[in-house]
Amino acid sequence: MIRLRTHCYVICLWVALATLLGMPHAAAKETLRILTWPGYADADLVKTFERRHGVRVEITLVGNDEILREKMAAGQGQDFDVFAANTAEMVHYIDAGLSQPIDLRKLPNLQRQHPRFSRLSEIPGITRAGKVYAIPYTYAEMGLIYDRRQFKTAPTSWSVLWDPRYAGKVLLFEGGAHNFSLTALVQGLADPFRIRSSEAKPVLNKLLALRRNALAFYSLPEEATALFREQSAALLFANYGSQQVKQLRDSGSDIGYVVPREGALAWLDCWAISRGARNKALAEAWINYTLEPTVSRALTTRQGLANTLETSPATRADDRLIWLEPVEDDAWRTQLWQRLLSGEREGRLTP
């Protein structure tokens, strides 16, 4: 009886050991870590990629460029494998050594891209020393959304954001770099991305006036949609452009959308690979996957965003788009923007 029990104990021990040894094979399924923006990695599209490659995909969303920088810097490029950033921001990630070159041979779907985006060497910010660090994925202008019930005719200038008649009815994006550039654009400066020291004070004063008109500051498009509807906003600086137009119209809002006569800032978002990518080939497989027609076109049908496989909609005023460029001093803009948001008075807020 003792031998039998001992024999059973040994068998059970072996079974348990075999189970434990087998568990890592199931639990250690490789994970692709993606840092991106809302709408760029929908759950069903992610599931398809996971099944195809036998991996897990972990999505982390960001709401502005400052947060994206913070998350990438926190782990020195080790916390994520793939990230999405606009062309102006890519200069920072390349300079900081937080991204790595992409092997274009691993991306056969590049041949599907519209010539406007497939000539990678002609797109500022994404190449360095003949190597490609980012692949264009989607783009939009930051236009002006207005409530048609509160406007008899469509506004034609960004200056309407400062109109005292709409005090407390203006929704703004919570991002210092873009708001400084927008204000510089309205001020008529030659280069909204490089504010000179002599121009800083007038721009800052103009931004303070804009803050006084603000209803709220949003980060994500869904947040802006809810605020616009619940608070009866009149105007919205649409950082996400046509994506926000679609969300608001789908929600039943009676809105119009214009690119004002001064033009509109515009971004071209790209996929890039982090310096700390655990599996570079898998990261490249994700980028290639997003350039499949069904995936890229989901940006347009679901989000209202343009994709890089097709030409832009006829309604897009391409001749008035001002593509984002690196700004003169990120830290300066961010610091002053945070102080402005905190409610610091005009006399104390100096460049």
* pLDDT, average across residues 249-255: 97
* pLDDT, average across residues 6-10: 42
Q: What is the pLDDT of residues 283-335, one digit of tens each?
A: 999 999 999 999 999 999 999 999 999 876 544 556 688 999 999 998 899 99
Mutual angle of helices 197-213 and 176-186, in 10-degree steps: 100
What does the alpha-carbon distance between residue 240 and residue 84 come to, in Å, rounded to a whole number? 14
Sign of CA dihedral 312, 159, 124, 277: negative
pLDDT above 80: residue 265: yes
Q: What is the pLDDT of residues 148-160, one digit of tens each?
A: 999 999 999 999 9
Least confident of 26-30, 127-131, 263-267, 327-331: 26-30
The rounded percent of the chain whose pLDDT value lies above 90 is 79
pLDDT reported for residue 24: 44
Q: State how far Cα 209 lies from the chain centre.
A: 27
The rounded percent of the chain whose pLDDT value lies above 70 is 87
pLDDT above 50: residue 22: no
Confidence of residue 347 (pLDDT cuts 50, 70, 90): low
* pLDDT, average across residues 241-263: 95
How does the average pLDDT of the chain come out, rounded?
89
228: exposed, middle or buried (Cβ count in 10 Å: 0-12, 13-18, 19+): buried
Phi, psi of 253 (to 5 degrees): -75, 140
Confidence of residue 138 (pLDDT cuts 50, 70, 90): very high
Whole-prediction pTM value? 0.82
- For residue 176, the SS3 value is helix
What does the alpha-carbon distance between residue 207 and residue 189 come to, in Å, rounded to a whole number? 14
Per DSSP, helices labelled H in the chain are 2-27, 43-53, 65-74, 87-95, 115-118, 176-186, 197-213, 221-230, 242-250, 280-290, 293-298, 330-341
* pLDDT, average across residues 242-268: 95
pLDDT above 90: residue 9: no
Cα dihedral 186, 190, 193, 195, rounded to 10, equals -90
Confidence of residue 15 (pLDDT cuts 50, 70, 90): very low
What are 113-122's contacts with CB under 8 Å, separation 24+? Answer: 113/291, 113/308, 113/309, 114/308, 114/309, 114/310, 114/311, 116/308, 116/311, 117/268, 117/308
pLDDT reported for residue 314: 40
Question: Which residue ranges form the domains of the chain, and what is each CATH number?
Answer: 31-139+268-311 (3.40.190.10), 144-258+325-341 (3.40.190.10)
Least confident of 20-34, 51-65, 227-241, 283-297: 20-34
One-character DSSP codes across 38-49? TTSS-HHHHHHH
Confidence of residue 10 (pLDDT cuts 50, 70, 90): very low
Q: What is the pLDDT of residues 80-119, one digit of tens each?
A: 999 999 999 999 999 999 999 999 999 999 999 999 899 9
Starting at the earlier edge strand, list the strands of the sheet with 235-237.
Answer: 214-218, 170-173, 235-237, 144-147, 255-258
What does the alpha-carbon distance between residue 240 and residue 256 come to, in Å, rounded to a whole number? 15
